[in-house]
Amino acid sequence: MLGVNRLLCGTVGIGDPLRYGRRSGQSPAHLLHYSEDKTPIVVWTSTRRCNLHCAHCYSESQDQEYPNELTTAEAHKFIDDIADFGSPVILFSGGEPTIRPDLFELAPHAHERGLRTVISTNGTLIDERMAQRIMDTNFS
């Protein structure tokens, strides 16, 4: 049986993973939890630095440099390890991930390794240029 939403709209419905397969690499983000091969997604605090200091934030970030954050080379290796583990998603978080200078180098590397890339940002630094960079980098 073919779902009407799939036929008319080209969208995936909640029953489609059961009918058409439940592989995480072929599923849209909102259906990953139905995957039979699911592995944990990774939420990476890629930087603790943030342009805000929100009372509710778990990381207690401030707009300052923090020691011992991963270098670009270490971050590439970290992403490789995540991909080798089989995680379907890496979520770049923070602090504020758009402050990390190599974000737009790391995300394409993750994407090339087969990871769905997601960004969790406070949005305050997103102007038209930044929005275009995020889109061009294939963030979900």
Where in the chain are the domains? 1-33, 39-136
Locus of tokens 């983000």? 29
Does the domain made of 39-136 have the CATH classification 3.20.20.70? yes
What pLDDT sits at residue 39? Answer: 75
- What whole-number distance in Å separates Cα of residue 49 and Cα of residue 33? 31
Q: What is the pTM of this model?
A: 0.76
CB distance 115 to 140 below 8 Å: no
Low-confidence ranges of the chain (pLDDT < 50): 1
**pLDDT attached to residue 68:** 93
Looking at residue 29, its pLDDT comes to 63
Q: Which residues, in sequence order, are bridge partners of residue 93?
A: 45
Q: In this predicted structure, what is the pLDDT of residue 5? A: 60
What pLDDT, on the 0 to 100 scale, is given for residue 1?
A: 47
